[in-house]
Amino acid sequence: MVGQSNDRCDIAIVGGGLAGGLAALALARQRPDLDVRLIEPGPIGGNHVWSFFDSDIAKKDRWLVAPLVRHHWPRYDVRFPAHARTLRMGYKSITGEALADAVMAALPAGHVIADRAKHVAPDHLLLSRGGRLSAKHVIDARGAGKFPGLDCGWQKFVGQALTIRGGHGIGHPVVMDATVEQVGGYRFVYLLPFDAETLFVEDTYYSDEPDLDADLVRERIAAHAAAQGWEVAATTREESGVLPVVIAGDFDRLWPASDRTARIGVRAGMFHATTGYSLAHAVRTASALPALADRADLPAILRRRAATAWRRQRFYRMLGAMLFRAADPDRRYRIFERFYRLPAGLIARFYAGRSTTADRLRLLVGKPPVPVGRAIAALARRDWR
């Protein structure tokens, strides 16, 4: 019994968030011959709603997330002081509960260990309640932890699912409503209509500091609902978070070559440098794991994948430098307002982290929506590379 003795398995995944949960699900579905354990002290997936554009996920990987989707819309809106637009692009949401249900159904009884790892090594881990779990591979999926050597801005948010008496009248998602007062950095409200009376309302800030005053943001959500004339009958869920928006940093400090424990997810630096979102990276990694699980050099393979992804994020780190170093906080919305005037395909590839050379040139041509001198100074530092 785990926690009482030295147990053994093929793959031990530490952390049952998005990356760890998807990895466990992929291995359980495609490699049922492997003994996979998932170590997570809290509920798998936590209290989260993850949303993504259809174009974020390659067709070959959609088998993994399709059963988890709980909401799907064919289009979404954006709103800015001088520009509004509807984009006909599929948008989906999955929930932590959907991920938890799928993982619990896929893994055999007893293979989800409700405990915390107090020590993690490449081939074993020690559990907080006592006991050792040995494995051919331990995969660390415990989330961000610390970000040594990274220069970050922060995307921070509080989201609530509100029951609106009489209905809210929102037909499809509003991914960014930046017509709201610009306080705390670039601020926008994000809306997901789960049904006619249930609306997920998230108040989000691109801010210089990671500190989140959740009570203040809750008050702003309530004020926004009142301003729309919505009568809130209940709040059925709430989540909050602080996501890194990387401006500059050294991958070798984030994941030193001397650390030979396999990593996935945010802990491996696998997230979009501008948006902080990690779902697309988590899906790609999870989909690749079943074919890699027998490799003795799995940790080295995953580190090379993460390092390659990090290099490919240089352009997005440069955009982060423009956003946080060149733009006044209350005028950062202009960068996104300009961005959302560009072709829909470019926008889709940006969120998927697959911007082409032509896309990058298109994003940079013309007068920048920030002071020119500051833009030049931000780019001249070159540490975003």
**Domain segments of the chain as ranges:** 6-71+91-148+250-312, 151-247, 314-381
What would the two tokens of residue 242 be?
């602080």
Question: Could you tell me which of 215, 205, 213 has the C-alpha nearest to residue 183?
Answer: 205
CA pair distance 297, 282, nearest whole angstrom = 20
Three-class SS of residue 176? strand
Architecture of domain 6-71+91-148+250-312: 3-Layer(bba) Sandwich (3.50)
Band of the pLDDT at 384, cuts 50, 70, 90? low
Within 8 A by CB and 6+ apart from 118, the residues are: 126, 127, 128
* Residue-level pLDDT at 148: 74
Mean pLDDT of 96-114: 96
300-305's contacts with Cβ under 8 Å and 24+ in sequence apart are 300/260, 302/139, 302/262, 302/263, 302/264, 302/268, 303/255, 303/257, 303/262, 303/263, 303/268
Predicted confidence (pLDDT) at residue 3 exceeds the cutoff of 50: no
pLDDT in tens, 125-146: 999 999 999 999 999 999 877 7
pTM given for the model: 0.93
pLDDT in tens, 223-273: 999 999 999 999 999 999 998 899 998 999 999 999 999 999 999 999 999
Within 8 A by CB and 6+ apart from 296, the residues are: none
**What mean pLDDT value characterizes the chain?**
93
CA pair distance 138, 293, nearest whole angstrom = 11
* Residue-level pLDDT at 4: 44
Architecture of domain 151-247: 2-Layer Sandwich (3.30)
Within 8 A by CB and 6+ apart from 307, the residues are: 251, 255
Band of the pLDDT at 1, cuts 50, 70, 90? very low
* Residue-level pLDDT at 332: 93
* Residue-level pLDDT at 361: 92
